[in-house]
Amino acid sequence: MILRHTYLMRTSWPRIFELMYWPTIQMILWGFITRFLLTNSSYVAQAAGVLVSAVLLWDVLFRGQLGFSLSFLEEVWSRNLGNLSVSPLRPYEFLLSLMAMSLLRTLIGVLPAAGLAIVFYQANLFDLGLPLVAFFSVLIMFGWAIGMMVCALILRVGLGAENVAWLAIFLIAPVSAIYYPVSILPEALRIVAWILPSAPVFEGMRAILIDGVVRYDLMAHAFGLVFLYLVLGAGLFLYAFHVARRRGLLLQIGE
Amino acid sequence: MSISKPAIEVQGLAKVFDGVTAVKDVSFSVPRGQTVALLGANGAGKTTTIAMLLGLILPSAGRILMLGEDMVRHRHRVLPMVNFSSPYVDLPRRLTVEQNLLIFARLFGVARPRTRLAELAAALDLTPFMKRPSGQLSAGQRTRVSVAKALVNEPKVLLLDEPTASLDPDTADWMRGYLKAYQKRTGCAVLLASHNMAEVERMAHEVLMMRQGEIVDRGSPAALIARFGRRDMEEVFLDIARGVPPAPGRAHDAVRTP
């Protein structure tokens, strides 16, 4: 059995990558949080619920991406992709259905958690007001864009890459400024943060909850970027689908 | 589409995977209301040919016209009138048979999906397990559901890869009769890949024998049996698979096994 799993691992770089991934990401993320809290604990204490709101908004991005990728993976796991590909369903309709499923899964996951946050911590995400709609829209669309890229990778290399569906989003967590401002990051990572739509959303959230200011500049920044990522994600997915047809992978996709 | 034109026209079809030729210069046509069978040993190129016809694999060369449309450029114009069953695909196992068939009825734009499902359930004896998850069915029951999915849109072109592989002889025989009756009623063109020679003899109007990606012989089952001087398609298949040339004078000799 050890030999069987060693053979599998040797032929699949995503499986080896995953082993190293979680400890590294956790260490980086909590290292930055610790650094921020050591110097700014009173600042955070002034804004009740800022961390809880950050957790909930982060979950919109996480669930949005996961909901998209898992809905796609369900078709791969059940060997149904071939059936769908020979139905009148067009690739863009398939993408739209995955987005709809992602929205549904996200609402089912996040709304009860948002309710519990009010009951347990008196932290009301809906205090963000109308900007919450914009934050939610940017984050779920970014989740879809990453989901499309993950699905493109699975189409390209097979189910060996399925774990990427779970861990892809955490690659951007340290630079999304979820629990701490972008300014806490090293200079090079700040540049990375500002080319992601997630960082301006979390900065915008803190501006409302801590300073009571709605930053429309950050919203415009986030929307502009997220549309670019959506176009990039859709392009990669459609290209991967085309390559899968050229290489005959749609009937064979597996480990 | 003109009635006189074949439902499927394939010209010079080829597929090369990373330098390995899987299908080479294959040409054939399937007239409306007729069944053409692809025969060949494992790896002969049958499934790759069917997958190219369905658009699951892009050809390296050649042309596929289905119901008059180019399948590489305009497959979505034709797909509502085409369907298939294959052992390489499955239906979601946690969904019930009814849910699975309803999804595909809606995807294919069937006008009255529940009425169509009731017809299929009655015709293919699926009624007792329509409410059961597909994953709880036996292999034979799943094959019948797969055929039901393939017929859900009353296709004009049907591609069947081993349609009776998991069925007992009695059910397989009944299924062949059902498919022939369906073809007679609708004028559907059928492309069949099978290892069951009795099935091919009963269903096929023309047989295309494939070896190493090429069509090496063709003809009606009766003509091939006569040309090779054999008793049935099983013996013809063995001759062709082993590269034994036609020998009419050898009629009714037994095929030697190595």
Taking contacts as CB-CB distances below 8 angstroms, the residues of chain A near B90 are: 78-80
Among A78, A86, A250, whose Cβ lies nearest the Cβ of B92? A78
Closest by CA to A59, choosing from A179, A210, A152, is A179
Closest by CA to A135, choosing from A198, A210, A209, is A198
User: Of how many residues is chain B composed?
Assistant: 258
- Residue A252: per-residue pLDDT: 74
**pLDDT band with cut points at 50, 70 and 90 for residue B257:** very low
Tell me which chain B residue has its CA closest to the CA of residue A71: B92
Residue A105, C-beta contacts closer than 8 angstroms, at least 6 positions apart: A63, A66, A67, A70, A71
- Residue B254: per-residue pLDDT: 42
Cross-chain residue pair A250–B57, CB shorter than 8 Å: yes
Cβ pair B54, B73 in contact under 8 A? no
Cβ pair B69, A71 in contact under 8 A? no
Cross-chain residue pair B51–A251, CB shorter than 8 Å: yes
Give the DSSP H/E element, type plus range, for residue A16.
helix A13-46
B8-27: pLDDT as tens digits: 999 999 999 989 999 999 99
Q: Supply the DSSP symbol for B210.
A: E
A40's tokens: 């700014």
Cβ pair B38, B53 in contact under 8 A? no
The verdict on A252 touching B (C-beta cutoff 8 Å) is yes
A19 burial class (0-12, 13-18, 19+ CB within 10 angstroms)?
A: exposed
What separation in angstroms does the CA of B2 have from each of A39, A169, B19, B33, B75?
80, 54, 39, 14, 18
Helices B139-151 and B113-123, axial angle in degrees (round to 10): 140
A101-126: pLDDT as tens digits: 899 888 888 888 888 878 877 778 88
Cross-chain residue pair A88–B56, CB shorter than 8 Å: no
- Residue A14: per-residue pLDDT: 72
Cβ pair A148, A237 in contact under 8 A? yes
B49-86: pLDDT as tens digits: 999 999 999 999 999 999 999 998 899 999 999 999 98
Residue B11, C-beta contacts closer than 8 angstroms, at least 6 positions apart: B27, B62, B63
Cβ pair B23, A248 in contact under 8 A? no
- Residue A10: per-residue pLDDT: 66
Tell me the mean pLDDT in the region B243-248.
75
Cross-chain residue pair B15–A85, CB shorter than 8 Å: no
Average pLDDT, chain B: 89
Q: What is the pLDDT along chain A (255 residues), one digit of tens a residue?
A: 566 556 656 666 776 676 666 656 655 766 677 677 767 766 655 565 788 888 889 989 998 998 899 889 988 988 888 899 999 999 889 999 999 989 988 888 888 888 887 887 777 888 888 899 999 999 999 999 999 999 999 998 888 888 887 888 888 999 999 988 999 999 999 999 999 999 999 999 999 988 889 999 999 999 999 999 999 999 999 999 999 988 888 877 754
- Residue A20: per-residue pLDDT: 66
Give the DSSP H/E element, type plus range, for residue B197.
helix B197-203
Among A81, A87, A90, whose Cβ lies nearest the Cβ of B104? A87
* Global ipTM: 0.85
The verdict on B61 touching A (C-beta cutoff 8 Å) is no
Model confidence at B240: pLDDT above 90: no
Q: What is the dihedral sign for C-alpha B55, B59, B65, B69?
A: positive
Q: In what order do the strands lie in the sheet with B20-30?
A: B20-30, B8-17, B61-66, B69-70
Cβ count within 10 A of residue B128: 10
Tell me which chain A residue has its CA closest to the CA of residue B76: A88
A39's tokens: 């110097």
Residue B207, C-beta contacts closer than 8 angstroms, at least 6 positions apart: B36, B37, B39, B200, B218, B219, B220, B221, B224, B233
Tell me the mean pLDDT in the region B16-43.
93
A234's tokens: 């859709």
Helices A216-247 and A198-206, axial angle in degrees (round to 10): 150
Among A88, A242, A252, whose Cβ lies nearest the Cβ of B79? A88
B146-173: pLDDT as tens digits: 999 999 999 999 999 988 887 888 888 8
Q: Can you tell me the distance from the alpha carbon of B32 to that of B157, in angstroms, rounded to the nearest whole number? A: 8
Closest by CA to A202, choosing from A182, A217, A184, A185, is A182
